[in-house]
Amino acid sequence: MQSVASVADESLEQALDFDALEAAFELDGDAALRAACRAVHARVNERLKQRFFGGAAVEEIVGLRAFCIDELIRRAWWRIGPGECAHALLAVGGYGRGELHPCSDVDICIVLGAALDDTTRDQIERLIGFLWDIGLEVGHSVRTLDECAEAARGDITIMTNLMEARLVEGPAALFAALRAATANDRIWPTDLFFKAKMDEQERRHQRYNDAFQQLEPNIKESPGGLRDIQIIAWVASRHFHTAGLRGLIENGFLTAQEYAALVRGRNHLWRIRCALHYLAGRREDRLLFDYQRRVSEVFGFVDESHNRAVEQFMRGFYRTVRELGRLNEMLLGLFQEAILHPDREVRATPLNRRFQVRGNFIEATSEQVFRRTPPALLEIFLLIQRNPWIKGVRASTIRLIREHLHLIDDKFRRDIRARSLFMEIIRQPRLIGHELQRMHRYGVLAAYLPEFARIEGLMQFDLFHVYTVDEHLLFVLLMMRRFSYPVTEEDQPDLVRQAIERIPKLELLYIAGLYHDVGKGTGRDHSVVGAEEVTTFCTAHGLSNYDTRLVAWLVSNHLVMSATAQREDIYDPEVIQRFASVVGNEPRLDYLFLLTIADIRGTNPQLWTGWKRSLIFELYLATLRALRTGIEARIARAELTESTRQEARKLLDDARCPEHAVSLLWGTLSEEYFLRHRPIEIAWHTEAILEADDDDLPLIAIRNFDSRGGTSVFVYAPDSDHLFAIATATLDRLRLDVQDARIITSSAGYTLDTFTVLDAETRSVVNDPQRLHDIQSRLRSALRARELEPVRATPAVSRRLRNFSVPASVTFTPDPAHARTVMEVIAADRPGFLSLVGRAMRTQSVRLHDARIATIGERAEDYFYVTDIDNRPFDDPARQDALRGEIIAALNE
């Protein structure tokens, strides 16, 4: 029999009451035995839990649990199972390694040393049932020696489990025979085993987008997780026949410092995993939002003024998995050289005196290269960019880079050679994002840019930012590279292609992308801090004053275009003129346009919807026109209105839309209508209205405009103060999310409202003809009845949203230019958000004239332009308080 890792007798006595265990197995009757063993098992779990939360080392906890389970199973084997027999009971998987976490499965394998008779089969079945009954989650297999070998031959996972097998009870000779039957000279030779495990890791990493820093990482499976450590141990065990990671030191693959880093990282993840199991009360390896705060408390973190406890905790986690990922990459590279090409002499191709290429992998020509020429720590990445046939860095050189990171100090950063090399990396036409990510993986980027090190692993506890700040910045650069080298059609639409071709220096865009968020986590406005940091960088790296000011302006204003597009009326000439004044000239506009797109796409892939794309593109085009005509040469509203009317008129069919009918209709519409709608929309509305009879009212027309990224729902009906409430309630019942609402009332007493909607589930336009018909029919019926749809039963708030608190707030701001009031509503997003606001406005007799809809992660920020029922500003404080109270009460339900 083999025991798990040794633990102190005192710890064993505290964890397992041996007297109670012995007494349990002396009881008569299966029911009494089961009850007593269930109680012992529960008591063991509780004692281990108390020891864990009392500060005991996690290695002790997982080792003690495996030992305690051994004691239970051994006694059960003799009392209920076959006992003295030709068969062997093995612990496999984590249990076999002696690493049993609080709620992990107990995996066992029974190897048959003789034919399985009915009596033994019944004993094994009773044993497995007993283990389940006392509270163990058991995974088991029963196989002959040949069946074990055959199953392992066909399944790498079974092979891996058997490699970790440990004899609990039974003949040692049978266990030795199993070892021999599954040895690498019989099945799964080391090279095939290594390739299979490498493929397995690659597929696993791809499932997590190859990102070390997920919002809700899986402690076991995510890149840099426990599986990445286990794969190192598995390959080492298969090739070197060593148990555990320490053997890698003896075989020259790990230094003592690297071994210590591996064990430290493993123990950190073990501790998180234990905490997750105890807090969840079940096996849970995902570090979900539900648990992140609570686990951070277990680790002793507390909120600081500008750094929440959960963010501090997650930062430590992200740094751990990144370090483990670096070690995994280096060690697997060393294994590849030792296992796949152990005796092959590959000729080296010199690149210069410092570097050469061997087997398409770059390596240092000697171990002294970085000590003698520290800037070579940057040069290696530039050489990879310039030589596209280089596949990567040899593992021995990765180790050298890691060992010499201390050379990147203030003196290094002031070295003109280092500064020139870094700028050359930024200016290269290819692999910029790829090599900056490699520099980040190896620790070079954070060492060279201390401001980047400050945000390494920095998370933002919300649903808006999918990645940590450092990974976000590098994803932004990848998005920028795709503007020039598109991977998908979305990477380079015509406007983006034209803008990227016009900007004179791509490196200025890349520097702005790399620095735009480095100011986060400082407690100050991150745009201001980032502008200060990038000014220092540009000055130190020899950029001209003009280029430095441009990059600093981009970092300082990187949120302006997105905020303007989503929160302001981009069809209002005043808004365009104001934004154009901020931008100042066309080159700045092009740079800001590209930075904005890359920033949104690099923040959260789901944010870049067709609707948001249309807003950014329309703002860009409108601003471009304003800049080209001259900011001071303001286009008169009347002139712009007339131009829009003429363009719309050209789109109309004279036979269906006679001139006099068009003029009569348009004569009832305000200047605002023509400013807020594009010619194609005006033509669509006009045709629909002129072809409708009074019996068709309210008129509901639906159309998808590719350039708008949403489904347009047009409502034409006799004016009603509560149409918005009724319409949004109905759209909510139809499971549609309103992205935009334009509310227009004609002088003839009709309302022309246009809602841009997306399917609430798929976040896409609605194309299904039957569903479009249903929308039209339901909306018309609701408006004719002039009754609000019943409030849709609010579905349970999603698991993710439950973890974020956005207190509802309502503020009112005067809008004297338009004789109305702007109402801003901020709250946690939820189904039916607009419907609830609309109901409150209906109750308080408030008239809606326009709306701006913006949802950022879990946070809704919507703007409503309102008046009282007599079209006067809604500025009575008492009435504002009443509306505010009703909205907040509704949203907080």
Q: How confident is the model at residue 551, as a pLDDT?
A: 96
Q: How confident is the model at residue 552, as a pLDDT?
A: 97
Question: Which is more confidently placed, 96 or 504?
Answer: 96
pTM score of the predicted model: 0.79
Q: What is the mean pLDDT of residues 736-743?
A: 83
Question: Which is more confidently placed, 865 or 560?
Answer: 560
Res. 4 pLDDT band, cuts 50 70 90: low
> Taking 60 as the threshold, does the pLDDT of residue 2 lie above it?
no
Q: How confident is the model at residue 508, as a pLDDT?
A: 95
* Residue the block writes with tokens 């070079």: 444
Q: How far apart are CA 436 and CA 384, in angstroms?
A: 11
Res. 100 pLDDT band, cuts 50 70 90: very high
- Segment 814-840, tens digit of pLDDT: 988 888 899 999 887 777 788 888 889
Classify residue 634 by its DSSP letter: P
Percent of the chain with pLDDT over 70: 92
Q: How confident is the model at residue 802, as a pLDDT?
A: 59
Q: How confident is the model at residue 631, as a pLDDT?
A: 53
Classify residue 490 by its DSSP letter: G
> Taking 60 as the threshold, does the pLDDT of residue 368 lie above it?
yes
Q: Which of 58-62, 330-334, 558-562, 693-697 has the lowest mean pLDDT?
A: 693-697
Q: Which of 33-37, 56-60, 193-197, 760-764 has the lowest mean pLDDT?
A: 760-764
Name all contacts of 210-215 with Cβ < 8 Å and 24+ positions apart. 211/467, 211/471, 212/318, 212/321, 212/322, 212/325, 212/471, 213/318, 213/321, 213/322, 213/457, 213/459, 213/467, 213/468, 213/470, 213/471, 214/466, 215/289, 215/459, 215/463, 215/465, 215/466, 215/467
Looking at the chain, the number of H-run helices and the number of E-run strands are 40, 17
> Taking 50 as the threshold, does the pLDDT of residue 275 lie above it?
yes
- Segment 679-734, tens digit of pLDDT: 999 999 999 999 888 777 899 999 987 666 789 999 999 887 678 888 888 888 88
Q: What is the mean pLDDT of residues 741-770?
A: 86
When mean pLDDT is compared over 120-129, 566-575, 604-613, 694-703, the highest value belongs to 120-129
> Taking 70 as the threshold, does the pLDDT of residue 5 lie above it?
no
- Segment 605-630, tens digit of pLDDT: 677 777 788 889 989 999 998 888 76
Q: How far apart are CA 836 and CA 791, in angstroms?
A: 8
803's tokens: 């973890």
Q: How confident is the model at residue 745, as a pLDDT?
A: 84
Q: How far apart are CA 440 and CA 470, in angstroms?
A: 9
Res. 633 pLDDT band, cuts 50 70 90: very low
Q: What is the mean pLDDT of residues 375-388?
A: 94
> Taking 60 as the threshold, does the pLDDT of residue 632 lie above it?
no
Res. 240 pLDDT band, cuts 50 70 90: confident
Q: How far apart are CA 76 and CA 127, in angstroms?
A: 7
Q: How far apart are CA 670 and CA 688, in angstroms?
A: 18
Question: Which is more confidently placed, 9 or 58?
Answer: 58
Compute the half-sphere exposure of residue 75: CA atoms within 13 Å on the CB side of its CA: 17
Q: How far apart are CA 268 and CA 313, in angstroms?
A: 11
> Taking 70 as the threshold, does the pLDDT of residue 635 lie above it?
no
- Segment 436-494, tens digit of pLDDT: 999 998 999 999 999 999 988 887 655 566 678 888 899 899 989 888 877 777 777 78
Which residue in 195, 198, 207, 169 sits closest to 91, CA to CA?
A: 169
656's tokens: 């269906």
Torsion (CA) 882, 887, 890, 891 in degrees, nearest 10: -150
254's tokens: 């790990």
Q: Across the chain, what does the average pLDDT equal?
A: 87
Q: How confident is the model at residue 461, as a pLDDT?
A: 56
Q: What is the mean pLDDT of residues 494-511?
A: 90
Q: How confident is the model at residue 463, as a pLDDT?
A: 55
